[in-house]
Amino acid sequence: MSSSSSSSSFSKSNPGRMYDVFINFRGEDTRRNFVCHLHSVLSNAGVNTFLDDENLVKGMELIQLMRAIEGSQISLVVFSKNYTQSTWCLTELENIIKCHRLHGHVVVPIFYHVSPSDVRRQEGDFGKALNASAEKIYSEDKYVLSRWGSALTTAANFCGWDVMKPGNEAKLVKEIVDDVLKKLNGEVLSIPEFPVGLEPRGQEVIGFIKNQSTKVCMIGIWGMGGSGKTTIAKFIYNQIHSRFPGKSFIENIRKVCETDGRGHAHLQEQLLTDVLKTKVKIHSVGMGTSMIEKRLSGKEVLIVLDDVNEFDQLKDLCGNRKWIGLGSVIIITTRDRGLLNILNVDYVYKMEEMNENEALELFSWHAFRKAEPREEFNELARNVVAYCGGLPLALEVLGSYLIERTEKEWKNLLSKLEIIPNNQVQKKLRISFDGLHDQMEKDIFLDVCCFFIGKDKAYVTEILNGCGLHADIGITVLIERSLIIVEKNNKLGMHQLVRDMGREIIRESLTKEPGKRSRLWFHKDVIDVLTKNTGTEAVEGLALKLHLTSRDCFKADAFEEMKRLRLLKLDHAQVTGDYGNFSKQLRWINWQGFPLKYIPKTFYLEGVIAIDLKHSNLRLFWKESQVLGQLKMLNLSHSKYLTETPDFSKLPKLENLILKDCPRLCKVHKSIGDLHNLLLINWTDCTSLGNLPRRAYELKSVKTLILSGCLKIDKLEENIMQMESLTTLIAENTAVKKVPFSVVRSKSIGYISVGGFKGLAHDVFPSIILSWMSPTMNPLSRIPPFLGISSSIVRMDMQNSNLGDLAPMFSSLSNLRSVLVQCDTESQLSKQLRTILDDLHCVNFTELKITSYTSQISKQSLESYLIGIGSFEEVINTLCKSISEGLATSEGCDVFLPGDNYPYWLARTDIQARHSNFL
């Protein structure tokens, strides 16, 4: 055995430490060159190093070797070509990794002319030698190959050094020693044992920081509890800290402020002590703020503030960027996006869930100590990973819990997790909920986690606003706190573990105060309450999902005591008796398979915001109507027996009317024209519905009209243009064959799908226009007064389009004999237009007729028409094509567009109009 005899300031500072550094290596590969040089430089730097060589330690007992490893702070593992030929090196490595797991021992791999991937995966000659070494002692230890392979992979996954080119060894040794010194001085922070997916995420933030070197850069790392915010902050700190003269990483700020009476002053002391490298004592927060401003002025520093949950914490530690020098970086980790908005940070990195492959790998490292599950546990492992939903904390906790457990124990845990979430994970996640200061925000969170996951954000906001919960701001706060997420299509989402945490909070309330449970959604609990009639006034929400063929039937009396019931969701539930027993506080009714033929008069709905009765047995909405003054959303889709709509005059605030797939619906109440707040009408697949009442076309507020599958609707009225807010018109698979001209004149239409035309309006309208055009028809009286180039369009062409571009079009019309240009006066014709016409050299060109805008067009004065319509290129091309085809087959042709007035978008004169949604 050989060890450095040099003294060490590092080991002396810790009496329990025998060595600073332990070197693990294959002697015959590196002892006389690289390792010898490395050991020498470490010794010269005052580092007490244990230099292991199997030729020198043959007589050592394993327990003595373990003490040497445990007595060191850092292990340098030098992987070389023949490393795995030594069973001693491999046994030593196995114990190094064990010390890392148990005591946080730092492991630094050095790849000496061997590929890191070969070490990580045990491939090539490196892997063959490993198998050969394992075979030597297989009879004594059948699992040795698995353990050594796991140790090699684990070590190779740590950040280390790659020695490939011999000429750079001296420089690299110096860099390694410098890194060791920093680690011994505590400048390098410990990161998780299995940093799966960490590097690419960290490098994304580092890439942004590198481009901000001339300013004070403030970075926010935001995400839910357990998502890895602190870990990524430590990774970034380790990567960039060396270039900053002053640095400080302040961890667990929230916890310090909650448990330390001196809170902010204590944090200020730590910040100044770290950066100034001298002990600082702070007597008050005001004093600390003043000292930070004065002592850090002009200094280039790196400051990490971890787990911030109050703005005052930020204000007292880095309240003003002017306090520190240019080039400084401040990194803040938080669950609250709102804090980062207030501080106006330069960049926010949002912690996303791990993808499926990353999650499975991280879980496997903790559960199996390798990168993938054992074959017999593969399906179970994937089920646990699905439960964890890509949350690193959950993957680590459950993986560590399941290591070396039986298949039966795995299955029992999964069953248990469905009912009682893992306590360690829940405790971490609950911090965000407990941090909500407003009871309304807590109520919104609990409502969403029980009833509204997957529902449209605007829909939920309306309902909860109707409950008096101020959901506009409340949902925003919950999103900022990472308790709710907004997924695609504006749907509210929530991490499964966060959802379970919220539901567990409700279960706890039942344990503490029996009968006080506010929300019922667990199937067994709801059945129990409704059958035993044990509902209480505390119940605010109830959800029960039964199968379509269920025969369960409940009495309305079971709801009598639930006088505060706001939210009711029933799927295929049969309820008999007096519906007057339902709460008068109902704001949301989602009752799929509503069992009655009409809504009873006793069912009090006057405060309801949304009624969703899909798949109902309704024949009529009601026999005796009541005024539903707050109703905004009505969905009666898939009601197979519904024959007519309700009297809409009783629904004055209705905004969304959805009646999809109601095959017997044939009557729309004329009062639909009274719905001045209506935004959406959806009558998809109402196959018995005939043409709409004329008053339906007078709805100025409607933005979306969907009639697809209404087979009996054969026309859309011309007065559809009165629907001045209409942006989406969909009428696929109907009897409508012709698009009304007034649709093209609409100032709002953005998307259209009617009569075979489908797409954005500005793409579809040219084809619609072309469908109206006929080169054989010649009813002169139907030619609209806008034919030709109006004066406004001449001005636009001059300024923005260059009329010279039209010359090739004119030249191609060999039979052209006259052009009609409509202007107020001849002087309005530009010199450019005259030049174009003069340069055409059309032999048959005989007449340039100038008329006023309102002049009548005489058949005798023209034999063919050229229509100029501004800079709308696609329509120009459409018309030119039509004219050219007509002239190719006859001596002249007339081209016209039907209607009495020109579409507004053909005469737009502003240049921006061309790039709008409609041009």
Question: Which DSSP helix (H) or strand (E) runs through 65?
Answer: helix 62-70
* Placement of tokens 């965000």 in the chain: 432
Interior angle at CA 161, CA 160 and CA 162, nearest 5:
130
CB contact at 8 A, 130 and 122: yes
For residues 448-472, b (16+ Cβ closer than 10 Å) or e, as one string? bbbbbbebebebbbbbbbbbebebe
253: its two tokens: 């700020």
Beta strands in 342-438 (DSSP E): 347-350
Q: Is 92 assigned a catalytic role?
A: yes
Residue from 28, 54, 70, 92 carrying the catalytic annotation? 92
Separation of alpha carbons 864 and 892, rounded Å: 5
Beta strands in 47-95 (DSSP E): 49-51, 74-79
572: its two tokens: 């295929």
CB contact at 8 A, 228 and 200: no
| Cα dihedral 143/149/152/153 (nearest 10) | -130
Separation of alpha carbons 723 and 696, rounded Å: 9
Nearest to 377 by CA among 368, 390, 387, 369: 368
DSSP states of 217-230 as a string?
A: EEEEEE--TTSSHH
154: its two tokens: 């684990």
144: its two tokens: 């040795």
918: its two tokens: 């409609």
- Using a 10 angstrom Cβ sphere, with 0-12 exposed, 13-18 middle and 19 or more buried, the burial of residue 793 is buried
Q: Residue ranges of the alpha helices (H) in 211-348?
A: 229-240, 253-259, 263-276, 285-295, 311-318, 337-343
Separation of alpha carbons 388 and 54, rounded Å: 44
Separation of alpha carbons 312 and 6, rounded Å: 49
Question: Which DSSP helix (H) or strand (E) runs through 161?
Answer: strand 161-163
Instruction: Please list the active-site residues.
Output: 92
